[in-house]
Amino acid sequence: MAGLGLRMPTNHSFVQRAKLFEGLDAASLDTILAAATPRRVPKGGALFEQGDKPCWLALITEGRIKIGHVAPDGRTLAVGFLGPGEIAGCTAVFQRVPYLATARAIEDSGVLTWWIEEVEALVERYPKMATNAVRIVGARADAMLRRLQQLSTESVEQRIARALLRLASEAGRPVKGGVQVDFVLSRQDLAELSGATLYTVSRTLNVWQKDGVVECGRQRVVVRDFDRLAQLAEGVLTLAAQPP
């Protein structure tokens, strides 16, 4: 995890973007930063693997990390994509359970890491971190419950639309005529995010592109019509009825 030549921001304003460190003063952040170890994760490299014993908590400083879970039936599910300012490994570290998913860089990335023993010492010293951690773990559990509900109650078209809306909102970059998801996004990624097949995702996106809702290139997606995409996500509009 070295030699990528990435910039590693360590200023207070950047670190405070992470919900784990919200509400901490400058002196506390100085101590937290002093305990951090900068690491590089090359494209395709794993920050941690599903099932491994938790060793560190990571704050992403640059690049993009895909969180993927392999289900008991062998299917790969994309839990999400984390970018600068987001924390990876929180649930495993704070609950002292094996990592529930694999964190893999989809582009050259940089992180700040804290060994699990350092995290525990910091939490004991700064109780606000413990409060923040409870909120983070709770929010992620709620998100997974909503995801399970969507998989069982929504059409595949709704799920694909909802995944695209979330990505465009979290990692969108304004471009001429729309908003582009600002990282390499394959149709397989969308299939894993929405619990659909690659064939269904490809067919659905093709229909949406012809109708002007999205524009798709090689591992690139631009949302052209947010209003109609939101209607698709809510089931108010249907353009490509697909089997789940």
Whether the CB-CB separation of 163 and 194 falls below 8 Å is answered with yes
Q: Read off the pLDDT of residues 45-86 as tens digits, 9 standing for 90 and up.
A: 999 999 999 999 999 999 999 999 988 888 888 888 999 999
Ranges for all domains in the chain classified under CATH 2.60.120.10: 12-152
- The arithmetic mean of pLDDT across residues 92-118, rounded, is 94
- The arithmetic mean of pLDDT across residues 92-101, rounded, is 92
Q: Read off the pLDDT of residues 106-143 as tens digits, 9 standing for 90 and up.
A: 999 999 999 999 999 999 999 999 999 999 888 887 87
Predicted local distance difference test score (pLDDT) of residue 4 = 46
Residue 6 has pLDDT above 90, yes or no: no
- The arithmetic mean of pLDDT across residues 21-50, rounded, is 93
Q: Read off the pLDDT of residues 178-235 as tens digits, 9 standing for 90 and up.
A: 999 989 899 999 999 998 999 999 999 999 999 999 999 888 899 999 999 999 999 8
CATH classification code of 12-152: 2.60.120.10
**What's the helix, strand, coil split of the chain in %, to 5?**
45, 25, 35
Q: Is 42 exposed, middle or buried (0-12, 13-18, 19+ CB in 10 A)?
A: middle
Task: Say whether 121 sits in a helix, a strand or coil.
Answer: helix
Q: What's the mean per-residue pLDDT of the chain? A: 88
CATH code 1.10.10.10 for 155-234: yes
Higher-scoring residue by pLDDT: 17, 105: 105
Kindly list the distances between the CA atom of residue 143 and the CA atoms of 11, 146, 216, in Å, as whole numbers in the listed order. 30, 5, 27
Predicted local distance difference test score (pLDDT) of residue 231 = 95
User: Alpha-carbon distance 150 to 108, whole Å?
Assistant: 32
Residue 8 has pLDDT above 80, yes or no: no
Whether the CB-CB separation of 6 and 108 falls below 8 Å is answered with yes
Ranges for all domains in the chain classified under CATH 1.10.10.10: 155-234
User: Alpha-carbon distance 107 to 183, whole Å?
Assistant: 8
Predicted local distance difference test score (pLDDT) of residue 240 = 61
Alpha-helical (H) ranges within 79-185 are 90-95, 116-125, 127-153, 156-171
